[in-house]
Structure 1
Amino acid sequence: MKVELGITSFADNNDIITEEGRQPALSAAQRIRNIIEEIETADALGLDVYGLGEHHRADYAVSDPVSVLASAARSTTHIKLSSAVTVLSSDDPVRVFQRFSTLDALSNGRAEILVGRGSFIESFPLFGHNLQDYEQLFNEKLDLLMKINAQTIVNWDGNFRPNIDNLGVYPRPEHGKLKIGIATGGTPESSLRAGALGLPITYAIIGGDPKRFKRNVEMYKSSALSYGHDANQLSVATHSWGFIADTDEAAMRAFFPSLKANHDMLGRERGWPPYNEYTFEREISQHGALYVGSPETVAQKIINTVETLGLNRFMLHTPVGSIPHEDTLKTIRLLATQVKPIVDKYFEDK
């Protein structure tokens, strides 16, 4: 059994919070250059995938993941390069396909599109969309994106975008179709939709016991079977927040200040209570959604999640908030050189 391991990032770019105090945020340009180094490090050490998120606000450095991934494509050799996610509701499916097809060419077939609604709403007014159309926008644009992926000449009618009448969409991927997957926070509707369409699915598990997503996976596979898809050929992935250091204690000390600062900043916008150490300790336990600790601790928790949910891929999301760049690189190195061998050996022996 092969389980892919990788990294996702939102290119967080706030003030850097450590035990020693606060440092000013990097420029967005420097943070983007750091992301390239993260991808190159992950590739050189044998991780399987790097996913980069899209945001349109000051505290995240990347609004166009494809440009960053395309830059990394020329200095990497095997790592899959994915969005995490493409906010399809506020984008144009034609341009999404063209950009990722270009990335696919530059990377020799390593591009992946992970589409979702996103957890932030800034892109909707920025690109002139009404939040009241949230659900309909996503459904219609996903339909168009899949049609473009399936055929070069497109005929399509919609409500939120001009119709396409017998027009070609170029460039085409060199080796067939682009890989398109759906990302979700766990709504039943997303599992049912992804299964019905026969698309890979990624669950963002950022709170609570990962085992509760077992029902979602069952719904996804049942939906796929009912629409004639081979559920065994479909990929199920998760991404969860995490951080790795030499020991459990070092990881907890380094990660908590940044995590709390990030949570409390968003909490002021969304009405959440302040983050505390009790919540942190619960989430880093075997029944929580944070993968924080030594390589051995994180590896065992990944193994448990993969077995429980039947995963094909696990992605560690790091950093959450802003931590020193060298600490992020160390997490990537430990995931690749110490966590991955433990996980690989366990499933090779199954």
Structure 2
Amino acid sequence: MADTPNPMHDFGFDKGQGLEFGIYTLGDHLPNPNDGSRVSTKERVHEFIRYAQAAEQAGLDYFGLGESHQEFFASQAHAVILGAIAQVTSTMRIGSSSTIISTSDPVRVYENFSTLDLISNGRIELVAGRASRVGLFELLGYDLRDYEELYEEKLELLLQINREESVTWSGQFRAPLNEAEVIPRPVEDRLRIWRAVGGAPGSAIKAGLAGVPMVMAHLGGTTSIFARTVDAYRQAAAHAGFDPATLPITTAGFFHVAETSQKALQNTYRYMNEGMIRT
């Protein structure tokens, strides 16, 4: 009998890490809802770096920064900012809250994040996303009608690059690779790569069938909806021969602490609503 696949090893995770807590941003650059003021883009970028420093000082396990290519965001070059964050932190894991693989070249993404991993001494993680805001497709020269196909093909290539130092591959949306050596390689041979799932079971099932760790964004709905997505993910993983107990799952969403739920909503509603109406 063949050995059971070990996704923890394949994607650079260590068994027994337990429950971890982190903080993330997609790079929002919004006006203050109280007075309409907005800091400069320069200041906002430096705020991201200071947020990461504060997160490490507070003892959090992870800080994530994503990309979004439109107005009211400031982290279009999120890998560059993560390089700065890697220099001012030393213990906390850092990475992308979403790298839009659909509109990026997987070879370049791997080169960038492997280099970040070397700079950070092995602390980098990569969340491969497909974009909930779709303006970047036209901006970067892609057809929105290829939304699903772009993501699946490019994620498949990214994962193959992560597994193999010499890559032979062909697909629809970029030139083929013939025994291509993609370097540099990360500190621990393979990057920690997650598949971003927006909450729908279909994408979670694909993650489970591939044995890929899942980041599940809470975009809307009750907790029970997301519980069904987790169940579908684990069932698909088991069906494909993976041990679901070895596959890490991350959830991502808004979080604020107050004495009561009503007080928490009162404190945060104006700021959350600003993001919703602007982006």
TM-score (norm 1): 0.72
Conserved? CA contact 1:73–1:103, under 8 Å: yes
Which amino acid in structure 2 is aligned with residue 13 of structure 1?
A: H
Q: How does 1:262-273 map to 2 (within 5 A)?
A: 262-266=275-279
Q: Check conservation: 1:140, 1:158, Cα contact below 8 A.
A: yes
Structure-1 residue corresponding to 2:99: 86
Counterpart of 1:75?
A: 88
**AA aligned opposite 1:155:** T
Specify the alignment match of 2:198 in structure 1.
185
> SS at the partner of 2:84?
helix
- What is the SS of the residue equivalent to 1:72? helix
Match of 1:149 in 2: 162
Select 1:7's aligned residue among 16, 20, 23.
23
Shift of 1:248: 5.8
Determine helix, strand or coil for the equivalent of 2:22: strand
Alpha-carbon distance, 1:102 to partner = 0.6
CA distance in 2, matches of 1:101, 1:32: 22
Mapped partners of 1:258, 1:174: distance in 2: 39
Q: Greater CA deviation, 30-39 or 74-83?
A: 74-83
Listed as ranges, the matches of 1:21-60 within 5 Å are 21-60=34-73
What is the CA deviation profile of residues 141-194 of structure 1, one whole-angstrom value per residue up to 9, with x for unaligned ones? Answer: 011101111111111111100011112111011212001101111122211111
Size of the aligned set, in residue pairs, is: 263
Are 2:126 and 1:113 aligned?
Answer: yes
Report percent identity of matched pairs: 35
Q: Quick check: 1:244 aligned with 2:260?
A: no
1:327 maps to: none
Unaligned runs of 5+ in 1: 267-350
Is contact 2:160-2:167 (8 Å) kept?
yes
Matches within 5 A, 1:141-290: 141-244=154-257, 251-266=264-279
Q: CA RMSD in A?
A: 1.6
The answer to whether the 8 A contact 2:29-2:74 is kept is yes
Q: Deviations over 1:128-153 (max 9, x none)?
A: 11011111111110111011111111
How far off is 1:59 after superposition? 0.2
Match of 2:149 among 136, 140, 148: 136
Amino acid at match of 2:41: A
Calculate the TM-score normalised by the size of structure 2.
0.89
